Chain A
Amino acid sequence: DIQMTQSPSSLSASVGDRVTITCRASQGISNYLAWYQQKPGKVPRLLIYAASSLQSGVPSRFSGSGSGTDFTLTVSSLQPEDVATYYCQNYNSAPLTFGQGTKVEIK
């Protein structure tokens, strides 16, 4: 099974900061990777699919990159409404594993 490891587990940044979250797959998954945002008490929301494609309706300050085993989610200018936990997910093959999550807070 493919394991997904995110880093850091949590981070605190100021409004306007550039924030980067990393996700590493235990074996190559091409670009079969999605990123989700889950705000406190809310349902998860798809942000990025195919490693770098922005889901409709998602603000352009979110971007994704990577291929193979190493992936990155970037928020170019952190906003208060971006406080959430972010998850990566492998969908190259079942099991469709999620990373453990990265909690983002405002400093």
Chain B
Amino acid sequence: EVQLLESGGGLVQPGGSLRLSCAASGFTFSSNAMSWVRQAPGKGLEWVSVISGGGGTTYYADSVKGRFTISRDNSKNTLYLQMNSLRAEDTAVYYCAKDRCNTNCYARGFDSWGQGTLVTVSS
């Protein structure tokens, strides 16, 4: 059974930093692309970033480009999101999501999601 467990969320002041982690199990982690998706309170889903299985390909939403960095450690089966220069509008539940993509691609639909971790940016 696929399991994704996010951690690292919390309250941070504007301009601050946080690093989110997503521990994965139940599948060959290095084979699948992974994404971060966020959802502000009462709002819809917003894709944030994707990383290919090997880590060599990454993409970002314009809203976070230059501030957030996605990475993965396939030896630890863990996905990360380093978030710098945080703003109030970054307040959201952040989900990690496993992509169906596992060969020469970075996106084919998210077939497993974690429970999410809440990030609140406020003074």
Q: Which residues of A are in contact with B by a Cβ distance under 8 Å? A: 1, 32, 34, 36, 38, 43-46, 49-50, 55, 85, 87, 89, 91, 94-101
Q: When the two chains form the complex, which single residue of A85, A91, A95 contacts B62, counting CB atoms closer than 8 Å? A: A95
A99 closest partner in B (C-beta): B44
Q: Which residues of B are in contact with A by a Cβ distance under 8 Å? A: 35, 37, 44-47, 50, 59-62, 95, 100, 106-111, 113-116
Complex CA distance for A38 and B45, rounded to whole angstroms: 10
Looking at chain A's contact residues, is the secondary structure mostly helix, strand, loop, or mixed?
loop
* Residues on the B chain within 8 Å of A45, using CB: 113
Question: Would A96 and B62 count as touching, CB distance under 8 A?
Answer: no
Complex CA distance for A91 and B35, rounded to whole angstroms: 12
Given contacts A94-B106, A96-B35, A101-B45, contact A43 B114 (CB under 8 A): yes
B115 closest partner in A (C-beta): A43
B46 closest partner in A (C-beta): A98
Question: Would B111 and A36 count as touching, CB distance under 8 A?
Answer: no
Question: Would B95 and A43 count as touching, CB distance under 8 A?
Answer: yes
Q: When the two chains form the complex, which single residue of A1, A36, A49, A97 contacts B108, counting CB atoms closer than 8 Å? A: A49
Given contacts A96-B35, A101-B44, contact A49 B109 (CB under 8 A): yes
Question: Would B109 and A89 count as touching, CB distance under 8 A?
Answer: yes
B93 closest partner in A (C-beta): A43
Question: Would B116 and A98 count as touching, CB distance under 8 A?
Answer: no
Q: When the two chains form the complex, which single residue of B44, B62, B108 contacts A98, counting CB atoms closer than 8 Å? A: B44
Question: Would A89 and B47 count as touching, CB distance under 8 A?
Answer: yes
* Residues on the A chain within 8 Å of B50, using CB: 94, 96
Given contacts A43-B95, A43-B114, contact A34 B106 (CB under 8 A): no
Question: Would B113 and A95 count as touching, CB distance under 8 A?
Answer: no
Q: When the two chains form the complex, which single residue of A32, A44, A100 contacts B113, counting CB atoms closer than 8 Å? A: A44
* Residues on the B chain within 8 Å of A36, using CB: 45, 110
* Residues on the B chain within 8 Å of A99, using CB: 44
Question: Would B110 and A46 count as touching, CB distance under 8 A?
Answer: yes
Complex CA distance for A45 and B115, rounded to whole angstroms: 11
Interface centre among A36, A46, A95 (most CB of B within 10 A): A95
